[in-house]
């Protein structure tokens, strides 16, 4: 029997075929899950619908994670269709372009607010809305995506690093709150992958060059590396893991400078 067969999941953060969330959606579907995908606006709706059409019996719903109403509406629609939910993948992040190219010291109040709201607070809001649905299944698994820029300085990652630090702390507090309901909350900290979000970071491709030289595995991370680790955390094999930030970065984070 497939690892996620009979399970239903929500996947937030698919923009196109290069999205990490799309790789995870495909892996979850291949593992037997039925998934709901979301799109944040009309511009991305067609992309998401086209990708979803390649899956078995998908659900496609709108959700701008900056909106409490849209999150609540999403929870109601999923509950009506699935009658509960087993796992949630949160793969939404955003920062304004200037904040990812100007010196960090120039971070604006509004740029900070937007980055932290969409990239960190949204995990809290989305998880809260999904708690009743996961309780219907006797528990659940919530997973988000983060980056080592939460702890170390990477050129131009800037306010997104601060947002990821807040996101990782939120993972721990949510895991503590929701553990008694058998709801696990974890993050995967992925090595750099060429996606739409990553290309918004000035000089991003040079980060990948550095990883290729310095990681213990002497290679970059690809989408399927993250997707396979995600299936572990979303499914039963990860049942004893919560509040964790799992490094899927070919070992980059263990290395010193020289």
Ligand X SMILES: NC(=O)c1ccc[n+]([C@@H]2O[C@H](COP(=O)([O-])OP(=O)(O)OC[C@H]3O[C@@H](n4cnc5c(N)ncnc54)[C@H](O)[C@@H]3O)[C@@H](O)[C@H]2O)c1
Give the footprint of ligand X on this chain (CB under 6 A).
13-15, 19-21, 40, 44, 63-66, 91-94, 118, 145-147, 190, 192-193, 195-198
Q: Which is nearer to ligand X, 85 or 190 (CB)?
A: 190
**Which is the catalytic residue, given 39, 121, 147, 211?**
147
Radius of gyration of the chain (CA): 17
Q: Which of 87, 27, 92, 76 is nearest to 55 (CA)?
A: 27
Query: φ and ψ at 212, to 5 degrees?
Result: -60, -35
147 is catalytic: yes
Nearer Cβ to ligand X (33/118): 118
| Smaller CB separation from ligand X, 66 or 139 | 66
Decide if 211 is catalytic.
no
Are 60 and 48 contacting, i.e. CB atoms less than 8 angstroms apart? yes
What CA–CA distance (Å, rounded) separates 240 from 194?
31
246 to 14, 145, 148, 187: CA distances (angstroms): 21, 10, 11, 6
Question: Measured from the CB atom, is 140 or 192 closer to ligand X?
Answer: 192
Paired tokens of 250: 């070919």
Instruction: Report the residue number, 108 or 205, with the smaller CB distance to ligand X.
Output: 205
Of the candidates 39, 157, 173, 211, the residue annotated as catalytic is 157
For residue 217, the minimal CB distance to ligand X (Å) is 16
| CB 153 to ligand X: min, Å | 15
- How many H helices and E strands in the chain? 9, 7
| Separation of CA 171 from chain center | 12
Phi and psi of 257, rounded to 5°? -70, -40
DSSP state of 192: P
- Residue 81's SS3 state is helix
**How many CA atoms does the CB half-sphere of 125 hold within 13 Å?**
21
Q: Give least dist CB 145 to ligand X, A.
A: 3
Taking the complex as a whole, the smallest distance from the CB of residue 252 to ligand X amounts, in Å, to: 11
- Shortest distance, position 184 Cβ to ligand X, whole Å: 19
Active site residues: 147, 157
């Amino acid at each position: 029997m497939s690892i996620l067969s009979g399970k239903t999941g929500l996947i937030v953060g698919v923009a196109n075929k290069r999205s990490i969330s799309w790789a995870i959606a495909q892996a979850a579907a291949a593992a037997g899950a039925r998934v709901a995908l979301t799109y944040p606006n009309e511009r991305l709706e067609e992309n998401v619908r086209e990708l979803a059409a390649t899956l078995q019996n998908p659900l496609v719903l709108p959700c701008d994670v900056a909106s409490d109403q849209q999150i609540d509406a999403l929870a109601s629609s999923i509950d009506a269709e699935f009658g509960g939910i087993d796992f949630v993948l949160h793969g939404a992040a955003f920062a304004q372009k200037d904040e990812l190219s100007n010196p960090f010291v120039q971070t604006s109040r509004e740029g900070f607010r937007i980055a932290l709201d969409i990239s960190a607070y949204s995990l809290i809001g989305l998880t809260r809305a999904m708690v009743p649905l996961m309780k219907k299944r006797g528990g659940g698994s919530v997973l988000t995506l983060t980056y080592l820029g939460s702890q170390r300085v990477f050129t131009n990652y800037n306010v997104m690093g601060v947002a990821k630090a807040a996101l990782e702390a939120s993972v721990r507090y949510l895991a503590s709150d929701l553990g008694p309901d058998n709801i696990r909350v974890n993050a995967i900290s992925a090595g750099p992958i060429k996606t739409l979000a990553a290309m918004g970071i000035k000089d991003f491709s040079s980060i990948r060059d550095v990883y290729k030289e310095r990681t213990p595995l002497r290679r970059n991370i690809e989408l399927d590396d993250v997707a396979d680790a995600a299936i572990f955390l979303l499914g039963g094999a990860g049942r004893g893991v919560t509040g964790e930030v799992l490094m899927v970065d070919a070992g980059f984070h263990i290395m010193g400078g020289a």
